[in-house]
Chains A and B, each alone.
Chain A
């Protein structure tokens, strides 16, 4: 991920302090996320159809007991 993109995403996430103190860690985290997302997209490219649902599903639950 290029530096400008990282800076923009850091701003959106509010990680300016982390970027100032630990720039290598922020860059490593951003690059890991990019690799993971790329692999998810590649793995899904032929497998996912518009109707493919996520898991866990949205379900109707009974009102939960309150502690």
Chain B
């Protein structure tokens, strides 16, 4: 079996179940690839080679006996290093937690994926505490984009995006507070879903902002994302934000296409609010035109300006993050990298009145998005307004990093998925975002699959 590193989770699980593929061979092939390529990409903070091989041998023995744990039996998994894995420190890519004690339990999301058969390959790079940005002043180097290692890979779930695009594992866990699953999905041409707030437990994940944090599946294909979400989605009575949502099947509707759907195109995000790079705008038009030609009705819809969403997101995020980091920032500010220190300290200067005001504006924004989604089945909009810029150019990072349309759906909690719209002339990913009604991830994934099939985005791989 060739090209094991590009094998999807669905294909790998099927081949393992039928004993055409040994999970040991799969894990060995990926570990070899990681050893060869990751020193230039920095997706991993730590690789758990021996444990992964041990778990692969156990998975192989179980498969031989016809015992399959679940739909991800023997499938390798990467875990962002703000998520607890038993026996491993959760460093949050920060000097503050570089010597953290090993976690005594898996995060709920890891527990569920392991119960479904997934094998943890290691802990992945992130922006410091999921907020810092691509920084060069941390104990581990920043992850680099496999499409061009001189460019940033998005973040904060940077190692997850890089590892998927580089063929280090077929599934990964990310978290998303202001777009951190969808940013690396956009920059690395993979599929990143921020589910509805409350659908996936956050217990065992280091918090950034309690009312904005989401855990999300990251994959190379839409079908893998659907399988992963099906495993992750469950009520957790110990997570105060978790809700007992109706479990819907994510796999069955995937191939139903977009015929008959009403698609709301949020053009003002990329045309007037934050005018996009022409290649990004062209990519979005390509997606809209494809949907029209496949029988969807595409109409323009209007939401509040991106700047308003961004301000509400930052006022809430920075206030909640400050309440988490205040003691460390008071006592050991030098243990943070510059970007995280600046962003986390902002919350100290936001008054309680402004935090509550942002929370009140938030409810109106939720109502605005809900009103739009009563008229259409799905929203189509930009994710990033630019292809990823140079990772070594702080001014370019500063100029482009916040030019995005992901934060609105952290503010409102609607499910949102980012994936490739194509590649730029320079060979860098440009992205599209789909947003659905609460708990209607099935339609989000169905629309994403329609675009994946038409655009061939699942065949995009970097030359490494």
Interface residues, chain A, with chain B CB atoms under 8 Å away = 1, 6, 9-10, 13-15, 17-18, 21-22, 25-26, 28-30, 32-34, 36-37, 39-41, 43-44, 47-48, 52-56, 61, 64-65, 67
Contacts and interface: CB of A to CB of B under 8 A. Distances in A.
Contacts of B315: 36-37, 40
Interface string B295-311: 00000000010011011
Nearest to A44: B361
A64 B237 contact: yes
Contacts of B366: 55
Given A14-B330, A36-B315, A48-B361, A1 B349 contact: yes
Given A39-B308, A41-B357, A28 B364 contact: no
Contacts of B361: 40, 43-44, 47-48
B326 A13 contact: yes
A21 B332 CA distance: 10
A22 to B, nearest CB: 6
Contacts of A55: 211, 359-360, 362-363, 366
A6 B346 CA distance: 11
Given A56-B211, A67-B238, A37 B359 contact: no
B312 interface: yes
B362 A21 contact: no
Interface of B: 211, 237-238, 240, 304, 307-308, 310-312, 314-315, 318, 326, 329-331, 333-334, 338, 341-351, 354, 356-364, 366
Given A33-B346, A47-B364, A25 B341 contact: yes
Nearest first, the 7 closest Cβ-Cβ pairs linking A and B are A33-B349, A54-B359, A39-B311, A29-B345, A13-B348, A18-B333, A55-B363
Contacts of A29: 341-346, 348-349
Contacts of A21: 333-334
Contacts of B350: 33, 36-37
B357 A44 contact: yes
Contact of A65 (B238, B304, B342): B238
Given A29-B343, A29-B345, A39-B308, A15 B238 contact: no
A36 B357 CA distance: 12
B338 A54 contact: no
B345 A25 contact: yes
Contacts of B307: 39, 43
B333 A40 contact: no
A10 B349 CA distance: 8
Contacts of A41: 354, 357
Given A18-B341, A39-B311, 19 more contacts: A9-B348, A13-B330, A15-B329, A18-B330, A21-B333, A22-B333, A29-B341, A30-B346, A32-B346, A36-B315, A36-B318, A39-B307, A39-B308, A40-B358, A43-B308, A54-B362, A55-B359, A65-B238, A67-B238
25 contacts: A13-B349, A14-B326, A15-B329, A18-B341, A30-B349, A32-B318, A32-B346, A33-B318, A33-B348, A36-B315, A36-B354, A37-B315, A37-B350, A40-B311, A40-B354, A40-B361, A43-B311, A44-B361, A47-B361, A48-B357, A52-B363, A53-B363, A54-B363, A55-B362, A64-B238
Contacts of A36: 311, 314-315, 318, 346, 350, 354
Given A17-B333, A33-B349, A37-B315, A28 B359 contact: no
Given A15-B330, A43-B312, A54-B363, A37 B345 contact: no
Interface-centre pick from B307, B344, B361 (highest chain A CB count, 10 A):
B361
A18 B336 CA distance: 11
B348 A54 contact: no
Contact of B237 (A43, A54, A65): A65
